[in-house]
Amino acid sequence: MSLRAPLRSALALLFVLSLPSCAIAQELGLKTPSIKIPLDIKGQFITVTAWANLARAPSEDPHHKNLALELNGDLTDLQRNLTPLLRAKLDKDDHCNETINIQNATLAPAPPSAIAVVRLHYERHACIKLMGKQESKRLVAGNAQVQIKLTPQITGQSQLQLVPEIGDIQADGSLGELLRAGPLGNIVREKVRSTILNAMQKGTNMHATLPPIAQEFASLQNAAFHDAGESRLLVILDGEVHLTAEQFKTLRDQIRDQLKEHLAQH
């Protein structure tokens, strides 16, 4: 593996650390060090790579500083592992009720949304007693493919949410109706939504990437999925940080400390 990329990164950090404080204050436009955030979903482990971008923004008040904020979460590992993650949440085998088996699941960017496609096998059974023995009778069985459009949004108090919409459904027999109008479709939609939202919230948690002073005074306005290349899914939250001149100096010092710590660890 080439050492050029880590070397370039280290040299860039050394350059920033060598800048006088006033230069950092004037030229603030940086990406915080990327971190890998572990996530455990019912025993299935993935990581979300997260970082933040901060840049100076115009301000009419000379006593205050405005910063444009981007929180970034790389969800590539979630894409790779979506099938086992949904199996952990949805698979069940009840011979007197339902059998659900997730066969495959994919997640692809369709900015500003993302499209999940879930392929599953489903059976519904009923148990009756016959001659003193319990017998299971299969009522519905078949395979289905469900498309779900997922759109991120920022609600009150800078909360990240994910709005799911059921799209195209391809299914055997009466299974399609269960997915369109019955509880099965709601269950699949909710499990897909909650699994992806959990990873998004972890990856865009400002406490993981931002210096403390920026966390305190940050607000979020917009959220969208992006294609990071080769269909890799990236979620970006846009917002602002409003600081007084004194708070801005604190931010400058905390950025310097954050970069020093990152350099020491690498």
- Quick one: pLDDT at residue 19? 44
In this prediction the pTM is 0.84
- Quick one: pLDDT at residue 101? 97
- Quick one: pLDDT at residue 148? 98
- Quick one: pLDDT at residue 260? 80
- Quick one: pLDDT at residue 266? 67
Q: What is the largest CA-CA distance in the chain?
A: 88
Phi, psi angle pair for 22, to nearest 5°? -65, -35
- Quick one: pLDDT at residue 1? 40
Could you give the angle at the alpha carbon of 208 between the alpha carbons of 203 and 68, nearest 5°?
Answer: 85
| Annotated domain spans of the chain | 37-241
Residues across the chain: 266
Tens place of pLDDT for every residue, the chain, 266 residues? 444 444 444 444 444 444 444 444 444 577 888 999 999 988 889 999 999 999 988 877 777 889 999 999 999 999 999 999 999 999 999 888 899 999 999 999 999 999 999 999 999 999 887 776 777 888 899 999 999 999 999 998 889 999 999 999 999 988 999 999 889 999 999 999 999 999 999 999 999 999 999 999 999 999 999 999 999 999 999 999 999 989 988 988 888 887 788 777 76
- Quick one: pLDDT at residue 255? 82
- Quick one: pLDDT at residue 13? 47
Phi, psi angle pair for 109, to nearest 5°? -70, 140
* Helices 183-203 and 82-90, axial angle in degrees (round to 10): 130
Answer yes or no: are the C-beta atoms of 72 and 97 closer than 8 Å.
Answer: no
CATH code of domain 37-241 = 3.15.10
